[in-house]
Amino acid sequence: MSINRVNISGNLTRDPELRATASGTQVLSFGVAVNDRRRNPQTGDWEDYPNFVDCTMFGTRAEAVSRYLQKGSKVAIEGKLRYSSWERDGQRRSKLEVIVDEIEFMSRGQNQGGYGQDGGNTYGGGYQGGYAAPAPQPAPAPVQAPPAVDVYDEDIPF
């Protein structure tokens, strides 16, 4: 048995790009920067090293989410890894990306109206893989978003 789940949080590295497949399925692509902390062997100081992760969402959720994201937005993502490989100009290329199942907006001022089950800032559910559009879901009733809390990375003790 194997498990293919990933959870990351970070900031968008570029504005999201929304496009559609030939069959009309919406595809949202964006990048997220995630820092890794390592001790510098020369100085002994802790330093941040960025990792850049490509992320993709599908379906009507992709279109809805695209309206709330922009470069610099802080998000938390849950999804699965997908490996792709292709050939371009005689060279073999590959990439590992996250197929987003759930996304939570963590930046101030995002998603004030809200969808989702947790008080209004998570979009998710329904994606079963492949490029087919997910089954239509009934629109959730509007939910009052919880008040914003000023918590920053520097406030977390680890």
- pLDDT of 107: 79
CA 103 to chain centre: 6
Q: pTM (2 decimals)?
A: 0.65
Q: Higher confidence at residue 113 or residue 98? A: 98
Looking at every residue in the chain, the average pLDDT score rounds to 80
Least confident stretch, 8-17, 20-29, 88-97, 102-111: 102-111
pLDDT at 113 over 70: no
Q: Which domains does the chain have, with CATH numbers?
A: 6-38+45-155 (2.40.50.140)
DSSP sequence for 46-73: EEEEEEEEEEEEESHHHHHHHTT--TT-
Radius of gyration of the chain (CA): 18
Q: What is the tens place of the pLDDT at every residue in 59-79?
A: 999 999 999 999 999 999 999
Yes or no: say if 29 and 54 are a contact pair by the CB < 8 Å rule.
Answer: yes
**pLDDT band, very low/low/confident/very high, at 127 (cuts 50, 70, 90):** very low
Q: Higher confidence at residue 58 or residue 150? A: 58
Cα dihedral: 36, 39, 45, 47 (round 10): -20
